[in-house]
């Protein structure tokens, strides 16, 4: 087993997942776990995660220093590297130069940790502090133009560190580094497989829910569909699925989702609720993105509870609310760790304190690509599994600023045209997610020799594996041109279309 010590980093759980991908069991522990507790767990290796703090911050999460003295190999990543440096009398500079995004790693020596890497490699940085120097017992393996110590090792004390994030997909050789650490340095054994999880998940749900029933909101997306299917396998017709139209769904969404659940998945209890007026009335005049998410989340629960009261008259025993929450949702909402930095609230993580239902989340420990693998094992149709992610708050977080019927109409049509164009030119399945967003500004244009003053639409398409990091997709120019021309010509109220080429991080995939 490899133990990951969590310092609140956005990628802490992703590290554990990378280890699992190698076929080795991994567990996550809080930063304040004692060295004696770790010793009793008998891990083959320890990984210190990144985190939002500086080692010099007052109240910064500082682990038991004796962790480095157990004789167990330790790999520090980002903040974890800085901790090892501080404990080992290295020189850590606070906030001298911040690095985010793609960088070039210059490998001086491969050592054990970087075995198999070339002299220059692409890496992904996300840090404020950096290490300027280490004691002579350490071998500095690599650097970047602005970071003199980007990787080091001390084989005698079994201490290793990298300043960059090997766990994200935009560090192409990241898995090679983990393989070097897990197998060559830690000598860990393969003992874990995602194929073994389906039965365990279903068994766990049966035990958790007992003889009670579950009501669940479904969107037709990958997460809610896989979660609902797992619940259905566990409790059968005691699952009640509800699709709530909050007025923020895409064009044709109602018909598509209803067809999925009634015709393809053949769920007995599927209900459609049109609550659009209630949602839009509560969102009137609201511009703050966090407030939007909270209103939508709370209104969702209200709608569910109303449906529960209605259903309980005929079907008593509904005690649980099923949700398709996946791990990135919890990470961005700062739930996995008290040290994590909150990025945004997710609609299914902003529940009223006095909610009447208990929450059951079958996928809370998984990432998007793992969810798809689970779905494939459950024989869910590829047409569902390959759908692009769509956020619970829907178009609300793709309209920056106030939500109005006019803005919804514009965005709904623009988004439909963009996706339709991608499908027609065989680009849809080449990107991880694509959508249109409406910016709260207007620009001058000319149409039919007349001046216009209309909205700006931003198109976004990204490549990713798990949604934790993302790069902008290189959509062919001709496809973007066709989409832009169609939007401007077919959607009344738009005279300018942009294409977003920002990465995550520092940006997020969604706009709010």
- pTM (2 decimals)? 0.67
Could you tell me which residues are beta bridge partners of residue 439? 456
Active-site annotation holder among 78, 147, 186, 241: 78
User: What's the rounded Cα separation, in Å, for the pair 113 and 115?
Assistant: 6
Distances (CA, A) of 25 to 44, 86, 398: 10, 29, 38
- What confidence score (pLDDT) does residue 126 get? 74
Domain spans of the chain? 2-185, 194-385, 399-499
Confidence category of residue 331, pLDDT binned at 50, 70, 90: low
Confidence category of residue 139, pLDDT binned at 50, 70, 90: very high
For residue range 382-414, list pLDDT tens digits in order: 878 888 888 889 999 999 999 999 999 999 999
- What confidence score (pLDDT) does residue 8 get? 82
Distances (CA, A) of 67 to 14, 25, 60, 263, 280: 22, 20, 17, 55, 53
Active-site annotation holder among 167, 339, 361, 365: 167
Average pLDDT over residues 467-484: 93
Does residue 275 register a pLDDT over 80?
yes
The DSSP output letter for 387 is S
Under CATH, which architecture does the 2-185 domain have? 3-Layer(aba) Sandwich (3.40)
- What confidence score (pLDDT) does residue 334 get? 44
Does residue 445 register a pLDDT over 70?
yes
Of 105-109, 355-359, 380-384, 397-401, the one with minimum mean pLDDT is 355-359
One fold for 2-185 and 194-385: yes
Does residue 341 register a pLDDT over 70?
no
Confidence category of residue 99, pLDDT binned at 50, 70, 90: low
Higher pLDDT, residue 80 or 13: 80
Average pLDDT over residues 22-48: 93
- What confidence score (pLDDT) does residue 96 get? 59
What phi and psi values does residue 451 have, to the nearest 5 degrees? -75, 135
- What confidence score (pLDDT) does residue 266 get? 77
Average pLDDT over residues 42-63: 89
Fold topology of 399-499: GMP Synthetase; Chain A, domain 3 (3.30.300)
Active site (annotated) includes residue 186:
no
Determine what percent of the chain is predicted with pLDDT higher than 90: 56
Of 272-281, 354-363, 492-501, the one with minimum mean pLDDT is 354-363
Helix (H) or strand (E) holding 286: none
Active site (annotated) includes residue 165:
yes
Whether 98 contacts 48, CB under 8 Å = no
Determine what percent of the chain is predicted with pLDDT higher than 70: 92
Which tokens sit at 489? 């010509």
- What confidence score (pLDDT) does residue 449 get? 65
Average pLDDT over residues 201-217: 93
Which tokens sit at 124? 């992904």
Active site (annotated) includes residue 167:
yes
- The CATH number of 194-385 is 3.40.50.620
Active-site annotation holder among 13, 127, 165, 170: 165
Of 38-42, 45-49, 72-76, 441-445, the one with minimum mean pLDDT is 441-445
- What confidence score (pLDDT) does residue 98 get? 63
Higher pLDDT, residue 505 or 476: 476
């Amino acid at each position: 087993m490899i133990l990951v010590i969590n310092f609140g980093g956005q990628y802490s759980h992703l590290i554990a997942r990378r280890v699992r991908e190698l076929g080795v069991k991994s567990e996550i522990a809080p930063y304040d776990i004692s060295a004696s507790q770790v010793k009793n767990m008998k891990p083959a290796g320890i990984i210190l995660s990144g985190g939002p703090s500086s080692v010099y911050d007052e109240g910064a999460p500082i682990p038991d220093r004796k962790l480095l003295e157990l004789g167990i190999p330790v790999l520090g990543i980002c903040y974890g590297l800085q901790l090892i440096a501080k404990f080992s009398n290295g020189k850590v500079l606070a906030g001298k130069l911040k690095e985010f995004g793609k960088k070039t790693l210059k490998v001086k020596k491969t050592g054990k940790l970087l075995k198999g890497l070339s002299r220059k490699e692409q890496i992904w940085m996300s840090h404020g502090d950096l290490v300027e120097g280490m004691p002579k017992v350490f071998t500095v393996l690599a650097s970047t133009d602005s970071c003199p110590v980007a990787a080091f090792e001390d084989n005698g004390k079994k201490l290793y560190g990298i300043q960059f994030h090997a766990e994200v997909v935009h560090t192409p050789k990241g898995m090679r580094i983990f393989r070097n650490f897990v197998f060559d340095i830690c000598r860990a054994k393969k003992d874990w497989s995602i194929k073994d999880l389906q039965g365990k998940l279903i068994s766990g749900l049966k035990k958790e829910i007992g003889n009670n029933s579950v009501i669940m909101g479904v969107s037709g997306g990958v997460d809610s569909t896989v979660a609902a299917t797992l619940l259905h396998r566990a409790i059968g017709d005691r699952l009640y699925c509800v699709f709530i139209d909050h007025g923020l769904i895409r064009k044709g969404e109602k018909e598509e989702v209803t067809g999925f659940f009634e015709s393809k998945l053949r769920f007995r209890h599927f209900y459609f609720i049109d609550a659009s007026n209630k949602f839009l009335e509560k969102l009137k005049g609201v511009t703050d993105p966090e407030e939007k998410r909270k209103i939508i989340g709370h209104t969702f629960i209200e709608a569910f509870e109303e449906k529960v009261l209605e259903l309980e008259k005929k079907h008593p025993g509904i005690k649980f609310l099923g949700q398709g929450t996946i791990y990135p949702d919890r990470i961005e909402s700062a739930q996995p760790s008290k040290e994590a930095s909150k990025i945004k609230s997710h609609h299914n993580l902003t529940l009223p304190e006095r909610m009447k239902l208990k929450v059951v989340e079958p996928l809370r420990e998984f990432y998007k690509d793992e969810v798809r693998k689970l779905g494939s094992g459950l024989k869910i149709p590829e047409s569902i599994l390959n759908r692009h992610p769509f956020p619970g708050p829907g178009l609300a977080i793709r309209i920056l600023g106030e939500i109005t019927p006019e803005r919804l109409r514009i965005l709904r049509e623009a988004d439909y045209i963009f996706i339709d164009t991608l499908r027609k030119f065989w680009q849809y399945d080449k990107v991880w997610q694509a959508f249109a967003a409406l910016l709260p500004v207007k620009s001058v244009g000319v149409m039919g020799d007349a001046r216009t003053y209309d909205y700006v639409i931003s198109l976004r398409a990204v490549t990713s594996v798990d949604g934790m990091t993302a790069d902008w997709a290189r959509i062919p120019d001709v496809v973007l041109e066709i989409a832009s021309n169609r939007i401007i010509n077919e959607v009344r109220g738009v005279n300018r279309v942009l294409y977003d080429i920002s990465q995550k991080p520092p940006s997020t995939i969604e706009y709010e």
